[in-house]
A and B are shown apart, each in its own frame.
Chain A
Amino acid sequence: MQAMAAVPAADTLISANAVDYLIIALYFVFVLGIGVMARRAVSDSIDFFLSGRSLPAWVTGLAFISANLGAVEIMGMSANGAELGISTVHYFWVGAIPAMLFLGVVMMPFYYGSKVRSVPEFMFRRFGTGAHLVNALSFALAQLLIAGVNLYLLGSIVHALLGWPLWVALLVAAAIVLSYITLGGLSAAIYNEVLQFFVIVAALLPLTLIGLHRVGGYQGLKDKITEFASSPAATAAKVPSAEQQLHSWPGEALSGFSSPFWSVVGIVFGLGFVLSFGYWTTNFVEVQRAMASNSISAARKTPIIGSFPKMFVPFIVILPGMIAAVLVKEIGELKAGGTPPGGASGEGVKYNDSLLLLMRDVLPNGLLGVAIAGLLAAFMAGMAANISAFNTVFSYDLWQRYIRKDHSDDYYLRIGRLATVGATVIAVFTAIVASSFSNVMDYLQTLFGFFNAPLFATFILGMFWKRMTPTAGWVGLSAGTLSAVVVAFLSKDAFGSVSRGVIPLEGQGAAFVAASAAFVVDIVLSVVVSLGTEPKPVSELRGLVYSETPRKDLVDPMEHRLPWYRRTLPLAGISLVLVTILNFLF
């Protein structure tokens, strides 16, 4: 065990050479170049915040998933892959695709068609001030927290790579993100997300293929995982059985439920319905990408086009994690219950280090540089996505609506840039807070449960039930969020050591239940309150409620001229069939 501490370089996790640095430097030249080029195109606040609504669907579609393909997803999902195995795919196939398709087919026409500039603004028009304030404030707060987590992971990889102290790494990373967003606004963020997507694939695909080659193909990986899971050390460390690690269903290891039946229910309802619909359909970070597209048809196709790459992302994210668990010595030791020293934090190897250690073990210099550039790209894009969504909501929904109304467009553009600076500074402090949480995924799922699950309940009820009142909007939202907090507080570990352990749930299972509680409480209270309060006049609900909106407002009049493979519904159908096939295969 002690000998492990001396593995390659004593101070940095990975030994990069001059060629690797050249590749990384090239990436930064391109990132800043995009910022400078986009700066010339930004002439008013719609350009800065919504990219002038001018982008084609494939660009916004890739940005849609890239905004989410940040540090948290890549490191967190490969960590889950190393720890739990293949059931992690549920975060993609159950926990993302159906919700993305629903967003494109059902909800996007309302968002795009009503010409709102943000999701909270939709809330304002449907429910008025109360619900708007709750939504705008909680969203802004969540973005700051998540930007901090992304920044922390970015700082820790720079620390691991260059050996810089964490705080220096945090500041440098923050400065780069800050410079390209203040320069180019959303266009720069979206273009960098698209570029990042390709660099990520160029980084992770070779890593996966070489890793598979080293373990003897997929069959070799299965054999090695089976062998490992049956060893005495693995049994003692309560490693999930090979059966569970190699099959996505029923996924007890993921849900934390011991009964297969409840595990499937938890995954389908908790993750697949409440958490994922809440996240994908109401999260402005994602929806903002679609709003930047050039027509209602492109806006609807944004999440649908995004769903195709999204369903294959697990193969280059989770698979490397699983390979790392059998190929990288330190991860194997960790999984067998050991505490190998080293890791990105320097305080011992964690599952979050799986990808970095696999890169160290299988990539030659050159590809190593591409891989590092890819990770840095993902982390920066993740953070930039949070910050570009934050500055829109802050400028339009908080500052313009409640603090300084009716100023010039230039004024709000300036506020947007200042908000970007402020958010970046706060993210640096959030990053320091985030560093004390061991499993980043748990921490984030917990947050999503609080903010997104009740939001989806309120949105969907408000979109399809015209009787729902403004009072019900804010009451349901607040009570739903509160009930998620209470469940998390009473669970074993959703809030780490603060949780009381009254409800015997831990891990992802606790997050599923907290989110489901929020959803149910929100729906029930909204219905009860609506029946006792005054609804909005029907004339104000056009474009906001399904029954009051003429069909022609919800579809693109030009869409029937496109060939079938470029229309919304056929694309969504193909995506659904593909993801169902994937579920049967694994």
Chain B
Amino acid sequence: MSQHEIDAPAPDTARRGRHTAGAFDIRNFIGALLGLYGLILTLMGLFGDKALDKTGGVNANLYAGIALLVVSAVFVTWARLKPIVVPDDVEPVLDDPTRPAPKRRRGGH
């Protein structure tokens, strides 16, 4: 297990870096995966076995592939145009008298 690694230092700069999103924006993940799927399906639709007996005569891979490419482009564009802005810090709950208090450690160690 990775329990030893969780003690790795978390310098303030790294913490702040996460709040300006970047690569860890779920929209980029969605866009990338659907884009790859769209590419594979489009290629299958053009060059692979179309299995028209199964689909009732429709080149399903091609149409689905193109649709996925479009959706992928929408997600990547959206992520570019409106990057995630996450609040710098989330206030911890320290004012609840009924809760056993966790002793929070400041910074890394």
A372 to chain B, nearest CB (A): 12
* A-side interface size class: 35 or more
> Quick one: CB contact mask for B13-43 with A, threshold 8 Å, 1 for yes?
0110011000110100110111011001100
Chain B residues with CB under 8 Å of A417's CB are 1-3, 6
Chain A residues with CB under 8 Å of B99's CB are 121
In the assembled complex, the Cα of A199 lies from the Cα of B30 at a distance in Å of 9
In the assembled complex, the Cα of A52 lies from the Cα of B87 at a distance in Å of 10
Chain B residues with CB under 8 Å of A408's CB are 102-105
Interface of A is mostly: helix
Query: Across the interface, do A41 and B37 meet the contact criterion of CB distance under 8 Å?
Result: no
Chain A residues with CB under 8 Å of B49's CB are 364-365
B57 to chain A, nearest CB (A): 8
Chain A residues with CB under 8 Å of B68's CB are 202
Given contacts A26-B36, A413-B6, whether A54 and B87 have CB atoms under 8 Å apart is: yes
A115 interface residue (CB < 8 Å to B): yes
Partner-contacting stretch, out of A43-51, A253-261, A434-442 = A43-51
Chain B residues with CB under 8 Å of A198's CB are 30, 33-34, 71
Interface residues of A in 348-400 (CB under 8 A from B): 361-367, 369-370, 400
Query: Across the interface, do A405 and B100 meet the contact criterion of CB distance under 8 Å?
Result: yes
Query: Across the interface, do A26 and B24 meet the contact criterion of CB distance under 8 Å?
Result: no
In the assembled complex, the Cα of A418 lies from the Cα of B2 at a distance in Å of 10
Chain A residues with CB under 8 Å of B105's CB are 408-410
Query: Across the interface, do B40 and A412 meet the contact criterion of CB distance under 8 Å?
Result: no
B41 to chain A, nearest CB (A): 5
Given contacts A26-B33, A202-B34, whether A294 and B87 have CB atoms under 8 Å apart is: yes
Given contacts A46-B92, A202-B37, A214-B56, whether A409 and B44 have CB atoms under 8 Å apart is: no
Query: Across the interface, do A54 and B86 meet the contact criterion of CB distance under 8 Å?
Result: yes
In the assembled complex, the Cα of A125 lies from the Cα of B95 at a distance in Å of 13
Given contacts A364-B49, A365-B51, whether A370 and B41 have CB atoms under 8 Å apart is: yes
Chain B residues with CB under 8 Å of A44's CB are 104
B73 interface residue (CB < 8 Å to A): no
User: Can you name 20 A-B pairs with beta carbons within 8 Å?
Assistant: A37-B23, A40-B14, A41-B18, A46-B92, A115-B96, A195-B29, A199-B37, A294-B87, A364-B44, A364-B49, A366-B40, A366-B41, A367-B60, A400-B102, A406-B100, A406-B103, A409-B105, A410-B6, A417-B3, A417-B6
Other 14 A-B pairs with CB < 8 A, given A23-B37, A182-B2, A191-B26: A38-B24, A115-B96, A199-B33, A199-B34, A213-B58, A214-B56, A294-B87, A364-B48, A365-B49, A366-B61, A408-B102, A409-B103, A417-B1, A417-B2
